[in-house]
Structure 1
């Protein structure tokens, strides 16, 4: 399966720049997720790849085949791009049976009737719905409808798969099962996949690479582990889950490492950074699970427990450490109001106070490449 390359993709609606020189590559056979809030440009990017949106500038290629080139006025129609697309609403025809829905992309390609029947049977077995071929969409559960939409996208053997929040209509338990099932299927098929979601759990659990988007730009890219533990910006850190932020003064230890000196946190906080911190106050991000909380005298900072929330398999605690309010996780309840808090080695990461302002049509775009 060939890679997908998006280069300097730009699109403006009115005075709002929805895509601001978006630039990335989806490697052959990999699962890449566009993650971000509503309005960040992730669906517009996906629909541009699919051919349902026409950007103002940039190029889109699938392997050696150029799908879109604004400068050359080259734009292959969606139906000729040979991509499989699953929409958020599934877009199933209610008057057609499951088999007829799946067969539709084959029929518009004038595929031989015998081959259509064979292929429909193959993909329905692939999504474990061969026994529902004669049913109608209204007779299926949400999860089954989602699998029918996926089967239809796979029916014509696409060279890549584009998924626009396909689990958003499923309940939480079914969504968990669907994530695991789709991830296994994608790996088995080895199909290049672009997945759009605003759900950080989906992005972290399924992706080979995550592209965090904000205001039409990619603000962070990397593996799930890298993006989660080294978000690089406050926006990415907050969007990928709970996070503590502490601001203070950075000082070098003289050994290539840095410490953050913050009021009330004796000893400083060692933090990671690939570049020298900027002059003045800086901020580090610390995930709640990186804080160790104990009720017995030990090393670390003294803290007061101000609130506790039970979340099933763990407890979320709000702690006051000097002037700072932190959140931390434990697997067992705390029985005292005063505790000690220690930081796991290497858990603090430098972040920028970043949020990118929305740009107007007249603004000068800045390229964020991956």
Structure 2
């Protein structure tokens, strides 16, 4: 299986209230063999629906899905290959292990469905348990195990069939932060060992950035941007991608006579070179908290006031009031300024974005509850 291809894939459905929603809108994508490819986006953007169509759990409204050179869903020809015949492994958010079966039988289940010979079945199950650090636990039941061990059961069950493609639907979201981090490394190690393709669905940008060879960001059923994690973080396509990939500030500003001022402040301009073609009016100045300088030395930046100081594991976070708006600033632990004091901020790598309509945000919220 050389690749996964989606051609003009669209999925529409009608809500109970009779509202028609385009969950996935003209999706075109090619994922190469051996890639770890992540779908990233907010709840309701269509990422899980897309994964379910690839798996065969949802039919298409329009378009085609190919696994290698084999079509598995072609709406125009009413072609549909059922999930069990697509040769995919899948791990769900809720683990989906059977509580009445021990670890061995949970992992063996897909092989028993295929009527795999007993000796081969046992060998493959024990190999899968070894690769997921579950050796010795084959007689235990899921209720006797931790959340991380239950997730390993799901991973072992997925790899026991030797799939060429693994579909992971937010598989780590029910784990505690430390365990989530360790499981990321385990999933990546399994991919390198077996060389399968991974499609990983998540709303957690740190997971996507850590695991992915390439990734995409979805919004309102559309692909907004595709690329490597580095490409997308350093060169986001728009305000939505910038805000979704990492911590961000969006300072409301007003352009007047080619200079940029905070929306409610016109005394001092913010040093910033506007992109060509930007006319007078309102916009947003985007910045990362770790790309803002902070000092008490007058004349070193735009004046503000520290409202709050928070000690965090990797930095000190300051909430700084600038002309009535609060932004977050991250500094090293050694740079300690008291709450309530005046300060000066330097925007080191800001970006300019136009404002976004309220209707777009309302549609995002509506999709989360449909």
TM-score normalised to structure 1 length: 0.86
What is the correspondence of 1:1-370 to structure 2 with a 5 Å cutoff? 2-14=2-14, 15-246=20-251, 247-249=253-255, 263=266, 266=269, 268-270=271-273, 277=277, 279=279, 281=281, 282-297=283-298, 299-322=300-323, 324-332=325-333, 333-335=336-338, 337-344=341-348, 347-354=349-356, 355=360, 358=363
Inter-CA distance 301–280: structure 2 relative to 1 (3 Å threshold): closer
- CA deviations 1:176-197 (Å, max 9, x no partner) are 2112221232233322111111
Task: Say which SS state the counterpart of residue 170 (structure 1) adopts.
Answer: coil
What is the CA-CA distance between 1:157 and the residue it aligns to? 0.6
| Unaligned segments of structure 1, at least 5 residues | 253-258, 360-370
The 1-side partners of 2:72 and 2:280 are apart by 47
Inter-CA distance 265–182: structure 2 relative to 1 (3 Å threshold): farther
What is the CA-CA distance between 1:219 and the residue it aligns to? 1.9
User: 8 Å contact 1:229–1:349 — kept in the other structure?
Assistant: no
What is the CA-CA distance between 1:322 and the residue it aligns to? 4.0
User: 8 Å contact 1:90–1:149 — kept in the other structure?
Assistant: yes
User: 8 Å contact 2:306–2:338 — kept in the other structure?
Assistant: no
The 1-side partners of 2:64 and 2:256 are apart by 42
User: 8 Å contact 2:93–2:170 — kept in the other structure?
Assistant: yes
- CA deviations 1:334-364 (Å, max 9, x no partner) are 23712222232xx2234354447759xxxxx
| Unaligned segments of structure 2, at least 5 residues | 15-19, 365-370
Inter-CA distance 357–58: structure 2 relative to 1 (3 Å threshold): farther
What is the CA-CA distance between 1:158 and the residue it aligns to? 0.5
Which 4+ residue blocks in structure 1 deviate beyond 6 angstroms? none
Please tell me the root mean square deviation across aligned C-alpha atoms, in Å.
Answer: 2.5
Select the structure with the greater relative contact order (CA < 8 A; seq sep ≥ 6). 1
User: 8 Å contact 2:301–2:345 — kept in the other structure?
Assistant: yes
User: 8 Å contact 1:233–1:353 — kept in the other structure?
Assistant: no
User: 8 Å contact 1:296–1:340 — kept in the other structure?
Assistant: yes
- CA deviations 1:261-303 (Å, max 9, x no partner) are 66556463247x7xx5565544342111110112345632232
TM-score normalised to structure 2 length: 0.86
What is the CA-CA distance between 1:225 and the residue it aligns to? 2.5
Task: Say which SS state the counterpart of residue 52 (structure 2) adopts.
Answer: helix
Inter-CA distance 348–232: structure 2 relative to 1 (3 Å threshold): farther
User: 8 Å contact 1:250–1:277 — kept in the other structure?
Assistant: no
Inter-CA distance 139–73: structure 2 relative to 1 (3 Å threshold): same
Task: Say which SS state the counterpart of residue 269 (structure 1) adopts.
Answer: coil
Task: Say which SS state the counterpart of residue 39 (structure 1) adopts.
Answer: coil
Inter-CA distance 128–4: structure 2 relative to 1 (3 Å threshold): same
The 2-side partners of 1:20 and 1:68 are apart by 16
The 2-side partners of 1:298 and 1:185 are apart by 54
How many aligned positions are there?
348
What is the CA-CA distance between 1:169 and the residue it aligns to? 1.3
Inter-CA distance 298–356: structure 2 relative to 1 (3 Å threshold): closer
What is the CA-CA distance between 1:328 and the residue it aligns to? 0.7
The 1-side partners of 2:70 and 2:355 are apart by 40
Inter-CA distance 265–243: structure 2 relative to 1 (3 Å threshold): farther
The 1-side partners of 2:51 and 2:257 are apart by 43
Instruction: State the match for 1:255 in structure 2.
Output: none
